Structure 1
Amino acid sequence: MFLRRLVLILIIVLVAGGAFVFFNKTNNSASSGGTQISTGSSTTQTNSSTQAAPTTPARADSRSSVPVTNASTPVLTEVAGMTPPQTNVKAWFLIDATSGQIIGNQEPDLKVSPASLTKLMTASLVFSALDENRIRPEQEVTVSEKAWRTGGSRMFIQVNTQVTIDDLIKGMIVQSGNDATIQLAETVAGSEDVFVNQMNKEAAQFGMSNTHFTDPTGLPAPEHYTTVRDLSVLAQHVIKDHPKYYHYFSQPEFTYNKIRQQNRNGLLSRNIGVDGLKTGHTEDAGYCLIAAAKRDDRRLISVVVGAATVREREQVSQNLLDWGYQNFTARQVAAAGAPLISPRVWEGTIKEAKLGAADGVSVTVPRGMEDKVQTITQINGKLVAPLAKGQTVGSVQFVLNGKVLKQESLNVLEDVPQAGFFGRMWDKVLSSFNS
């Protein structure tokens, strides 16, 4: 009886192998993927590849999940047919950092002088040096003559005296001290020139394609420029990559050498959820402000450059944040590690692959239009094991009025090992009939 069963199994395997070869030769659709479209609570499966125009979601370097936007990235006001706020500033940008979506903007790619907003890149590199234990907060350094002589806003450090890294960071961020900034750059990189090279390298890694730095402080120079779009990326990196140092940006004041200076970000005291980031001002740049706010676990970031006065930069920033919170809402589509879809996988030890985004998926939509958003998932091809965790196998788009609100990659959330020989053979037969 055992021998008879063994022979029967061998016959099935041989037939399965022959069927697999035959169907691979005669049916080219065996490797095709599918499109899944859902609106609200209903979901349908279709073989059509028709979908909204793709918008490839560019990403920054592997150290962060901050999205890099460009001129083709959807803007919510444009998708929804809404009129954004009108201002007299040179340029502005409003982004929902929770979902990574642009809410609205004005002259997003105009090259502007960033003034002391430059110090956010300096801070990013200093925070990285702290994380890598190349410097320590309590470490004391000797003030150089170059740092001491630096003009503009100052912390008032004295040449050849000792000052801690922690105090220098407060002097740079809270007091916007150019002297503290130069001293930090020299301490981290050995020289200002080397540090500036690191700033530009970091900007390139972050995808800040319209940015170039010539010094760590933001003093005016022809080749020192950026855009409000690039500054929004930088601000997100500072917040997401270095959360344990973010408290520096909300410190209301700092006293050094018996000189007390208040944080120049006046929005910190208005009780509107603003907890950072940085101000800037030169005659060329005008009055600038990057403001980050958090309300109900949702973070918005506004970037304003070229205001005529301190009052205007603060009022425009507050108006943008209030407008963003009042007119748009973010909903979590899938939590971190939770699948968006679980399609059939072939020749694996399990029959379904969990697909989604490792950090979860949130979508920002205009208030009142939440139920009108379509979710379109596209699988690149038939899923065949083995599949590795993190492997990109498709995309998901969120569509409103036929226009893409947001696109995300569909990644494998858990490894799908390859099945044994008999399991693979059996799936080859089944998949041929399910093409």
Structure 2
Amino acid sequence: MKKIIGLVTCFMLAAGVLVPEAFAAEKKNELAPEAKSAILIEQATGEVLYSKNSHEELPPASMTKIMTMLLIMEALDKGEIKMDEKVRTSEYAASMGGSQIFLEPGEEMTVEQMLKGIAIGSANDAAVAMAERIGGSEEAFVDKMNERAKALGLKNTHFENVTGLPVKGHYSSAYDMAVMAKQLLKHHGITHFTGKYEDYLREGSDKKFWLVNTNKLVRNYPGVDGLKTGFTNEAKFCLTATAKKNGMRVIAVVFGAPSTKVRNAQVSKMLDYAFSQYTSHPLYKKGAALDQVKVSKGSMRHVRAVTSEPVSVLTKKGVKLSNLKKTVKLKKNVQAPVQKGDEIGTLTISQDGKVLSKTTLVADKTVKRAGWWQLFKRAAGMFVQKD
């Protein structure tokens, strides 16, 4: 059989036909042979560099907290909570088993301290306390997690709790976890927590608590600054890791490795592969203005369309970029009010008909609805708007 496959491959190569699937299969066996599933993506473009059973539904264990942290960061952005706000621990939150920071019923910690406990120590009690603060209950927060997963287009994810503790019907996939991680990393402040190897809680008291990151690659692999480990007897050893080197950030996910050592080795090999074989070409910084959109009945007649995140394209090392086509597509009939950060268009970068990058364009400021007097003067031609 091997001889036949070899002859077929040689024939295809001789005929000038590339067989990327064959090389991908070979690479698959090299990178994560002992994982149940795995994926490697470049963060800016989302391009998949390697995949193994990446849509298989599996228990994610504490990698669940990637979504928990995403909703916390989004609540911070919306002003629903603040980093220095104190959060009270319920009896239910304090009763969580597994990884914890041993919160006591009634104990208060700031959002920042709770987030530190979740990101570094994988604290189940802190995760539930934050879920109760944001959602009102863990159940309501879990509903928000599933709604967010649906909004992200995740088809192989369903949450039953905020911790990842084993329960029927709680699952995700390597691909879905990479998408969640990509979204979380848009909140640049998160790596301030996930990238720390150690820290302390309750400093200045006799209950000082030493936090040590469950992701040892933060200390052992240069450039790794997150994101989340996971382990249960059912899930085995899991890890969603991210690393940045020479301006390129990648995300590697492994489900179901047999040990911590194997898990870390396979993720390290995936990261090595990404950084040795690919390079990122930056094109625009976050917030770069590319066009403007007319706003109907707004206090301002136009709002600028800016990049929602840094824009880059990915190539194999040694490949030069040429003939890039940049296409800006803006929404029509945008009505006031418009909130800063609202999606108002897309930027597509392509080369020879192949899409290399697609980025959301957002409003650079809030535009309120114009008052009746302002609209009247415009209609009467008596007012010249200065934008």
Gap change, CA 1:148 and 1:356, over 3 Å in 2:
closer
Choose from 138, 143, 152 the match for 1:197: 143
Checking the alignment, whether the CA contact within 8 Å between 2:346 and 2:358 is kept in structure 1 is: no
Following superposition, the deviation at residue 359 of structure 1 comes to 5.5
Checking the alignment, whether the CA contact within 8 Å between 1:398 and 1:407 is kept in structure 2 is: no
Local SS of the residue matching 2:121: coil
The residue that corresponds to 1:287 in the other structure is 237
Following superposition, the deviation at residue 222 of structure 1 comes to 2.2
Deviations 1:200-240 (A, max 9, x none): 11111122222110000001122111111111111111111
The residue that corresponds to 2:198 in the other structure is 253
Following superposition, the deviation at residue 141 of structure 1 comes to 2.9
Following superposition, the deviation at residue 79 of structure 1 comes to 7.8
Following superposition, the deviation at residue 331 of structure 1 comes to 2.2
Q: Tell me the amino acid that sits aligned with residue 243 of structure 1.
A: H
State how far apart, in whole Å, the 2-side matches of 1:319 and 1:167 are. Answer: 33
| Residue 262 of structure 2 corresponds to residue 312 of structure 1 | yes
Deviations 1:250-269 (A, max 9, x none): 12123343332310110011
Choose from 153, 164, 168 the match for 1:218: 164
Local SS of the residue matching 1:185: helix
Deviations 1:107-161 (A, max 9, x none): 1111111100001111111122222232222222332111111111111011122
Local SS of the residue matching 1:330: strand
Gap change, CA 1:119 and 1:335, over 3 Å in 2:
closer
Q: Tell me the amino acid that sits aligned with residue 87 of structure 2.
A: V
Choose from 173, 176, 187 the match for 1:227: 173
| Residue 53 of structure 2 corresponds to residue 110 of structure 1 | no
Gap change, CA 1:374 and 1:123, over 3 Å in 2:
same
Pairing 1:311-350 to 2, within 5 Å after superposition: 311-332=261-282, 337=288
State how far apart, in whole Å, the 2-side matches of 1:316 and 1:264 are. Answer: 16
Pairing 1:66-215 to 2, within 5 Å after superposition: 78=20, 81-82=23-24, 83-86=26-29, 87=32, 88-215=34-161
Deviations 1:318-345 (A, max 9, x none): 1100111101122245667588xxxxxx
Gap change, CA 1:192 and 1:376, over 3 Å in 2:
same
State how far apart, in whole Å, the 2-side matches of 1:112 and 1:265 are. Answer: 20
Gap change, CA 1:277 and 1:161, over 3 Å in 2:
same
Local SS of the residue matching 1:222: coil
Choose from 390, 397, 409 the match for 2:350: 397
Q: Tell me the amino acid that sits aligned with residue 261 of structure 1.
A: L
State how far apart, in whole Å, the 1-side matches of 2:311 and 2:50 are. Answer: 20
RMSD: 3.6
Following superposition, the deviation at residue 301 of structure 1 comes to 0.9
Gap change, CA 1:159 and 1:90, over 3 Å in 2:
same
State how far apart, in whole Å, the 1-side matches of 2:236 and 2:162 are. Answer: 18
Checking the alignment, whether the CA contact within 8 Å between 2:308 and 2:360 is kept in structure 1 is: no
State how far apart, in whole Å, the 1-side matches of 2:155 and 2:249 are. Answer: 24
Deviations 1:4-45 (A, max 9, x none): xxxxxxxxxxxxxxxxxxxxxxxxxxxxxxxxxxxxxxxxxx
Gap change, CA 1:316 and 1:174, over 3 Å in 2:
same
State how far apart, in whole Å, the 2-side matches of 1:160 and 1:386 are. Answer: 51
Q: Tell me the amino acid that sits aligned with residue 194 of structure 2.
A: F
State how far apart, in whole Å, the 1-side matches of 2:333 and 2:115 are. Answer: 48
State how far apart, in whole Å, the 1-side matches of 2:111 and 2:155 are. Answer: 31
Checking the alignment, whether the CA contact within 8 Å between 1:142 and 1:161 is kept in structure 2 is: yes
In structure 1, list runs of 5 or more residues that go unmatched: 1-76, 340-354, 414-435
Following superposition, the deviation at residue 243 of structure 1 comes to 1.5
TM score, norm. by length of structure 1: 0.64
Q: Tell me the amino acid that sits aligned with residue 286 of structure 1.
A: K
Local SS of the residue matching 2:39: strand
State how far apart, in whole Å, the 2-side matches of 1:287 and 1:84 are. Answer: 22
**Identity level (%):** 30
Checking the alignment, whether the CA contact within 8 Å between 1:120 and 1:278 is kept in structure 2 is: yes
Gap change, CA 1:304 and 1:171, over 3 Å in 2:
same
